[in-house]
Homo-oligomer: A and B are copies of this chain.
Amino acid sequence: MNEKKTSFVSDYEEGAHHTIISNLNRTNLLKTAGYGHDEFSEAARKKIRETCSAPDAEIFFMVDVTQANSVVISAVLKTYEGVIASESSHINVREAGSIEATGHKILTLPHVDGKILASDVKLFVEEFYANELHEHKPAPGMVYISQPTEYGTLYTLEELRKLSTVCREKNLALYVDGARLAYALAYPKNNVTLKNLSELADVFSIGGTKCGAFFGEAVVMRKNLIPHFTKIIRQRGALLAKGRILGVQFYTLFTDELYKKIGRRAIDTADKIRDEIKKQGFELYVDSPTNLIFVTMTETQARKLSEHIAFRTWEKLPPDKVVIRLVTSWATKDNEVDVLLNELRRLKFV
C-alpha cells in the first residue's frame, strides 16, 4: 500500500494543476464540435504554434504517451521500415511491445546515460546499406529519442543538431518523445527550446500526462509529414470524442508559461534531494539534471528506505547493490521532500 508511504514512484501520481480543473469547469457546459474540431483545441494549437515559433506546424492531441508513440511511429514508417532507438528507450522496454504490435522492429543502439549518439546512427545506417543481405532486414526509417531521456538526462542543442543532420542526410525521420518535456524546459542550463525542436525534429511530443495535465500529449509535426493523420488517429481509437478536454488542458498549459513554471518545482525539489544524496555520500548512478534521480545503494539500505518511502528499484548491481529511482513532479510537496531527506539521512546508519 503506497498510501501510507511518502511516494516518489512517478510523476503521474496526482491529478491536474488547479488552473486546468478550473478551466474545464468554466467551459464545461458550452457546446462544441467533437473530435478536436472545437475552438478550445484550435486555440491551444495556436498557442503551441506561437510558443514554438512554428506557424506551419501541424498539431494533434492524443491521450496517452504509448498511444502517441505507437500511432506516430507506425504512421511515419513504411511497411518495411524499423525505428532506431536506444536499448533503454521507453518504446523498447516499457510499452508492452506496442511498436512491434504495429508491425515494426525496433533497431536498438547502445546508449550513454539514455542518449544515443549521432555517430552511432550514422554508422548503423551505413553498415546497413553496405551489407549485401540488407534486403533481408528491415530498413531504418526513423530515429526515436526522448527529451529528457528515461534516465532524466538531456540532449544538448549541439547533440540534437548532429542527430538531426545525420537523419536528414540519411533520409530518416527524427521523432522526439517529450513525455517529460516540461522538466527539460525548466532546467536552467537546458539549451534546447521548443523552437529548436520544431526545426530539428520532424515530429515531437509535448507531454501533458506527466507534466501537470490530467492526461494528454500534443504532437507537433512538420506540415504534410503524415497525410490524413486525423483519420489514422481515429482508426487507432486514439481520437478523443470530446477533444475539447485536451484542448482546454493544453490551452491552459501554454497560457502564461504554465508549462514551464510547472516543471520548475520538480527540478527544484529534485536538486534538493540530489544535494542531500551527495551529502550523505551516496552515488548518483546517472548524473541527471531533471526530475528523475537514480541512486546507488546497498540492498539493505534500499529495503530500509522502502519502509517509509515508495520508489522503484531500477536495476540490480550484483553482488549486493541496487539502483533506485526517485521521481519528483510539478506537484511534489515540501513535506514529502522533508520526509525523504530525513529517511536518506538515517540510511547511513544501516
Binding site for B on A (CB under 8 A): 2-3, 7, 9-10, 12-16, 18, 21, 24-25, 27-35, 39, 63-71, 74-75, 78-80, 82, 93-98, 100-105, 132-133, 135-139, 209-210, 214-215, 227-228, 230-232, 234-242, 244-245, 312, 331
Residue of B nearest to A229 (CB): B80
**Complex alpha-carbon distance, A236 and B67, angstroms:** 7
Residue of B nearest to A75 (CB): B79
Given contact pairs A39-B3, A100-B104, A245-B215, A139 touches B231 in the complex (Cβ within 8 A): yes
**Complex alpha-carbon distance, A69 and B236, angstroms:** 11
Cβ contacts under 8 Å, A240 to chain B? 63-64, 215
Residue of B nearest to A34 (CB): B12
Q: Are A97 and B237 in contact (CB under 8 A)?
A: no
Q: Are B63 and A232 in contact (CB under 8 A)?
A: no
Cβ contacts under 8 Å, A210 to chain B? 241
**Complex alpha-carbon distance, A15 and B249, angstroms:** 13
Q: Are A136 and B14 in contact (CB under 8 A)?
A: no
Q: How far is the CB of A331 from chain B (nearest CB, A)?
A: 6
Cβ contacts under 8 Å, A236 to chain B? 67, 98, 101, 237
Cβ contacts under 8 Å, A9 to chain B? 33
Q: Are A80 and B231 in contact (CB under 8 A)?
A: yes
Number of identical monomers bound together in the oligomeric complex: 4
Q: Which of B31, B64, B234 contacts A239 (CB 8 A)?
A: B64
Residue of B nearest to A245 (CB): B214
**Complex alpha-carbon distance, A33 and B133, angstroms:** 12
Q: Are B79 and A232 in contact (CB under 8 A)?
A: yes
Q: Are B13 and A237 in contact (CB under 8 A)?
A: no
Given contact pairs A231-B96, A231-B139, A235-B97, A15 touches B21 in the complex (Cβ within 8 A): no
Cβ contacts under 8 Å, A78 to chain B? 227-228
Q: Which of B65, B70, B71, B103 contacts A241 (CB 8 A)?
A: B65
Q: Are A95 and B234 in contact (CB under 8 A)?
A: yes
Given contact pairs A25-B21, A75-B79, A331-B29, A235 touches B98 in the complex (Cβ within 8 A): yes
Cβ contacts under 8 Å, A80 to chain B? 96-97, 228, 231-232, 235
Q: Are A63 and B66 in contact (CB under 8 A)?
A: no
Given contact pairs A101-B103, A105-B97, A231-B96, A12 touches B66 in the complex (Cβ within 8 A): no
Q: How far is the CB of A228 from chain B (nearest CB, A)?
A: 5
**Complex alpha-carbon distance, A77 and B143, angstroms:** 24
**Complex alpha-carbon distance, A13 and B31, angstroms:** 5
Q: Which 7 A-B pairs have the closest CB atoms?
A: A67-B237, A97-B138, A15-B28, A96-B235, A97-B105, A100-B105, A13-B31
Q: How far is the CB of A63 from chain B (nearest CB, A)?
A: 5
Cβ contacts under 8 Å, A138 to chain B? 96-97, 100, 231, 235
Q: Are A64 and B135 in contact (CB under 8 A)?
A: no
Q: Are B215 and A242 in contact (CB under 8 A)?
A: yes
**Complex alpha-carbon distance, A55 and B155, angstroms:** 50
Q: How far is the CB of A60 from chain B (nearest CB, A)?
A: 13
**Complex alpha-carbon distance, A18 and B29, angstroms:** 9
